[in-house]
Amino acid sequence: MKTKLLTALLLLSAFAQAFATKVPLTPEPSQYSGFDMTYDDATKVYTFTMARNPLGNPARLKFPNLKEDLPDNITSLAFEYKTSNHVGLMYFRVYDEGKTSPKKTYEYTLDIHPADEWRTCTIDITDAMKNKLWKFGKAGRWQEMDFLSNYVLGSTLQIRNIRYDSGESGYYDTPLNPEAENIIEAENFNYGTGYSARQFEVPHHAPYVNPTGDLFPIYAWGGPDFNNQRGPLGLKKEFQDLWECGFNMTLGSAWTGVARACLFPDREVNGVYVDLFEGTGLKLLAKAGLRDNPSEILAIKDSPRLAGYHIRDEPHVKDLPEMAGWFDHARNTDGTNKIYYGNMHPLSSSAVELGAKDYQNLIDLYMCTVGPNFISYDMYPVRHHKVEDYIFLNPDWFENLEIIADKARHYKVPMWTFVQSCQSSHASQIDEQPKPTREYMSVCAFTGLAYGSQCLQYYMYAWEHSWEYNYQNACTDENGERTDTWYMAQAINREVQAQKFVFLGSELTMSGHTNPVTPSGCRRLTDDMLPEGVASVTTDGSGMCVTTLRNGKSLYLMVVNPDVNNAQGLTITTTANMHRVLTDGTITDLAAGTHNYTLKTGEYIIYQVNDNLPEHIAYYLRDDAIEKPEPAPGQGNTAYRNNIPGTDLRSHDAASNGYYLANMGDPQWQEFNISKYSDSTSGAISFDQAVENWGCWYNYSFFVDTEMDMDISISHSVPWSQYGLVASTGVEPGSKYMIENNNMLNWPKEYAASMVLELDNEPLIPANQPLRPAVPEVFSEDGTEFNRILADKSQWIPTQTPDGKASEILYFWPKAGGNNSFEPTVNTTPDYTNVRLTPGEHTLRVKSLCYPWHFDAIHITKPKTSGITDIEAETDNAPVEWYNLQGIRVNPETASPGLYLRRQGNKTQKIKL
């Protein structure tokens, strides 16, 4: 029987959308600006021209006092611009009325490229609006905006439509013409909060090699340095003390001569020939002279005592390109697989003020811009509340461990963590780092190790003076002498080395918590998460951290008490004989049964659950650790739009308008790694959390003058090499993730190269896709088996939901197996037909469920046939579905009287109930 095309479905109701709040800003000339300013009232354009030597002054705009508080829903600062120069940084200063010293300065990274056409720049100020102490939206406060660039005489910057904005706005005013083909380009997604993406191109990184050989790395941040009073020989003794304390790596001196005397046995310091590392096995992370004299690397690179190079600590996003340059210089000059050191901020820092969308975005930008071969971050979790006088654990501690552990696995690198080994206080903060104790230091050390950390970094080892912070009780005092902290660190370090067969080269395979309230971003421990032979792990207090570590042929269970105030009872029930690892490294037999312990703060238990597994090499040590997908076709990092972190916007001649959005998801698709759960007990994740991890979404606003029915198609391209791999393999659900209400669903395998189209937050139902080709279980580069399936529709599978209803998922697939060309296309028949659009503003959301496909454009056209027509059904056995005239599914038994759509197979009728 000949099947006619379905021409009517899914009519959507009239829609009322709250328009975005906009607060215009009117700049004034600033006497400190290096620019002259003119204003054209007809075009509402401010033109700034550098007409004189600015003497270091930037292009500065001044805004008068706010008349009233900004609305709470303001999320962005936006403006349109033309500029003759690249602008990479903006300072936004907030002043109290009548004051000339800023109350607060916010720093934002920009990526404004020279442009002679109007472009839009949007800056996320959500964090600043929520800042209770320094919020710049208060009435009476005035602001300044500085644009930093390498401007020269004659440089121009034109700005218009400066405003505070809420939510998002369309990139262009896009009215639909009901009689023409309307094309909304993929690259013209809404600005502001109008997208969510993690489409990063990951650079190659050097293989990771343990810098301390067969020892577990223990690094002294702020190690001994030259002091005139103690001289070279005194410094040598301090390094011997450092080694005796259990450290095997230290941060290099600020003095080139001192660093060389550490690295080589025949160097001079202040006229004294001294081998500073003599009698130790210390390694050095060099930093002296690396920037002032780049050839310094050539002078020291062959020292066997050199662990690597310290490049940068806690960078702002604006610093990442320069940091990447120094990384590349050091790697290329040295030519070997050493440590190229960078250290990142903790979760408790403001990622937005650091130039990122959020903390995970900050880590992604760092990894994808700089390309280090490990991730280091510093958080000091044990805190003392100075006002109320109590000790607490930073609530971000475990979420930060989860995020970094996930990112480390995602990028196939190890992570390094910190131990707080000094007391630190700042006058402006209500909490501080308390005086170190063995217990507090153990919490830092052993929770980090439980999560698979491959280096413990102590901050700080040697006391140092600071005008900003009050440091006390480091491992050594101002005279270089040992303190109580030194002996506590020594004891911890000895434990770590005694158990290095557990920790060195370990891989985290499970993490859970027994807390009554699970820490944010973490999983609640359930019995099914435990390894075979362990029936249960329970605690009687505030809760403990429970992990499993794989190392070689062994699997270890580790339980740590992180309660900084109380001991806790621990009960482990086992159903098999196994071993316990004691703190001195001794392994003892452990019979099956119930085992009870009391763990003080920072204490832990380690079981060797199995010692006869197949040999396992940690993901960051395997030969494939630095493999990555080939970049998408075309030129990346296009200047078409700025301030859109996480997107992979590319230029290509085959793309509509010359640009497209590549990948439409994370190319590193092999893990669930966003550390967010809808249910921390089961590990269930929501539909939107899965999209956040594996996919992305983009919004497109447009206007309709008159009511119309339109067809919609998505221009797309799918590369076989990645599609076949993802769709045949996917990521098996289990302890790391499962989809709520469908815990057996393998998300990437099911939804590779698929999407949902939403109109005003309501999903549309595809009109042309009852079937899709099955994907071979085994991937092959030539795609021969897939081509056989493409040609035989009896091998295709239905797209309906398990209950037999039409699915809202639109699937894409390659034109042919083995075809990786970029050839954007629309399907032969429209993807969505007769979509009812009412007068007003509407928003389409292209929600990609999973990598890999490329998005080129949205085509909106007048239907070839219009209205509701009766169509021959392919079969009378198809399920019946009912919709109201707005395209919403209804139950005909409970529906109110009126006209409805009855769909069966490919037949749709308008019926009065």
Three-state helix/strand/coil letters over 244-275: HCCCCEEECCCCHHHHHHHHCCCCEECCEECC
| 126 in the same domain as 99 | yes
Q: What share of the chain is helix, strand, coil (3-state, %, to 5)?
A: 15, 35, 50
Reported confidence tier of residue 131, pLDDT bands at 50, 70, 90: low
Is pLDDT at 148 greater than 50 in this prediction?
Answer: yes
**Residue 401 host element (H or E):** helix 397-411
As a whole number, mean pLDDT of residues 274-298 equals 92
Domain boundary among 475, 498, 521: 498
Is pLDDT at 4 greater than 50 in this prediction?
Answer: no
| 593 in the same domain as 478 | no
Nearest CA among 803, 813, 739, 725 for reference residue 771: 813
Is pLDDT at 431 greater than 70 in this prediction?
Answer: yes
Is there a domain that residue 171 lies in? no
For residues 53 and 56, give the distance between their C-alpha atoms in angstroms, rounded to a whole number.
8
Give the pLDDT confidence of 839-888 residue by residue, as tens digits: 998 999 999 999 999 999 999 999 975 444 433 434 455 677 777 655 66
- Note the pLDDT of residue 724: 96
Is there a domain that residue 874 lies in? no
Q: Calculate the dihedral angle through the C-alpha atoms of 695, 701, 702, 707, rounding to the nearest 10 degrees.
A: 80
| 478 in the same domain as 516 | no
491-500, 675-684, 812-821: segment of lowest average pLDDT: 675-684
Classify 684 as helix, strand or coil: strand
| CATH code for the domain in which residue 284 is found | 3.20.20.80
- Note the pLDDT of residue 540: 96
Percent of residues, the chain, with pLDDT higher than 90: 60
Is there a domain that residue 38 lies in? yes
Residue in this structure with the two tokens 């140092």, named with its chain if needed: 464
As a whole number, mean pLDDT of residues 417-441 equals 95
As a whole number, mean pLDDT of residues 26-34 equals 71
Where is pLDDT greater, at 10 or 815?
Answer: 815
- Note the pLDDT of residue 888: 63
Q: Which domain holds residue 149?
A: 22-166
| 526 in the same domain as 405 | no
| 268 in the same domain as 197 | no
Residue in this structure with the two tokens 């370090």, named with its chain if needed: 493
Is pLDDT at 215 greater than 90 in this prediction?
Answer: yes
Is pLDDT at 468 greater than 90 in this prediction?
Answer: no
What is the number of other CB atoms lying within 10 angstroms of the CB of residue 580? 16
| CATH code for the domain in which residue 37 is found | 2.60.120.430
**Highest mean pLDDT: which range of 265-274, 408-417, 426-435, 485-494:** 485-494
As a whole number, mean pLDDT of residues 99-115 equals 75
> Are 372 and 315 contacting, i.e. CB atoms less than 8 angstroms apart?
no
As a whole number, mean pLDDT of residues 815-838 equals 95
Please tell me the total count of domains within the chain: 4
- Note the pLDDT of residue 354: 86
Is pLDDT at 42 greater than 60 in this prediction?
Answer: yes
Is pLDDT at 10 greater than 70 in this prediction?
Answer: no
Give the pLDDT confidence of 651-671 residue by residue, as tens digits: 999 999 999 999 999 888 888
| CATH code for the domain in which residue 587 is found | 2.60.40
Non-local CB neighbours of 131 within 8 Å, separated by 6+ positions: 104
Is pLDDT at 110 greater than 70 in this prediction?
Answer: yes
| 294 in the same domain as 239 | yes
Which 8-state DSSP code applies to residue 436? P
This model's pTM is above 0.75 = yes
| CATH code for the domain in which residue 809 is found | 2.60.120.260
Note every long-range contact of 782-790, with CB atoms under 8 Å and residues 24 or more positions apart, other chains counting: 782/817, 782/818, 783/720, 783/724, 783/814, 783/816, 783/817, 783/818, 783/819, 784/817, 784/818, 785/817, 786/720, 786/724, 786/814, 786/816, 786/817, 787/816, 787/817, 787/818, 790/816, 790/817
Is pLDDT at 536 greater than 90 in this prediction?
Answer: yes
Is there a domain that residue 184 lies in? no
Region of 565 on the Ramachandran plot (φ > 0 left; ψ -120 to 50 alpha; else beta):
alpha
> Are 157 and 59 contacting, i.e. CB atoms less than 8 angstroms apart?
yes
Residue 132: phi and psi, rounded to 5, are: -70, -30
| 651 in the same domain as 524 | no
Give buried/exposed letters for 8-40 (b at 16+ CB in 10 A, else e).
bbbbbeebeeeebbebebebebbeebbbebeee
61-75, 632-646, 882-896: segment of lowest average pLDDT: 882-896
Reported confidence tier of residue 246, pLDDT bands at 50, 70, 90: very high
| 751 in the same domain as 796 | yes
Reported confidence tier of residue 761, pLDDT bands at 50, 70, 90: very high
| 638 in the same domain as 614 | no
| 365 in the same domain as 261 | yes
Which 8-state DSSP code applies to residue 855? E
Is pLDDT at 127 greater than 90 in this prediction?
Answer: no
Is there a domain that residue 207 lies in? no
| 770 in the same domain as 683 | yes
Residue 842's DSSP bridge partners are 702
> Are 390 and 384 contacting, i.e. CB atoms less than 8 angstroms apart?
yes
Non-local CB neighbours of 70 within 8 Å, separated by 6+ positions: 23, 129, 137, 164
Is there a domain that residue 899 lies in? no
Is pLDDT at 907 greater than 70 in this prediction?
Answer: no
> How many residues in total does the chain contain?
913
- Note the pLDDT of residue 199: 80
Is pLDDT at 473 greater than 90 in this prediction?
Answer: yes
Is pLDDT at 532 greater than 80 in this prediction?
Answer: yes
As a whole number, mean pLDDT of residues 476-502 equals 98
For residues 118 and 335, give the distance between their C-alpha atoms in angstroms, rounded to a whole number.
45
As a whole number, mean pLDDT of residues 83-112 equals 77
6-10, 435-439, 685-689, 711-715: segment of lowest average pLDDT: 6-10
Is there a domain that residue 208 lies in? no
Domain boundary among 498, 532, 555: 498
* Distance (Å) of CA 32 to CA 103, 146, 589, 736: 18, 10, 75, 55
What is the number of other CB atoms lying within 10 angstroms of the CB of residue 75? 23
Is there a domain that residue 516 lies in? yes
| 396 in the same domain as 537 | no
Domain boundary among 472, 498, 524: 498
Give the pLDDT confidence of 157-206 residue by residue, as tens digits: 888 888 888 767 777 778 899 999 999 999 999 977 789 998 877 777 78
Reported confidence tier of residue 248, pLDDT bands at 50, 70, 90: very high
As a whole number, mean pLDDT of residues 581-599 equals 98
Percent of residues, the chain, with pLDDT higher than 70: 90
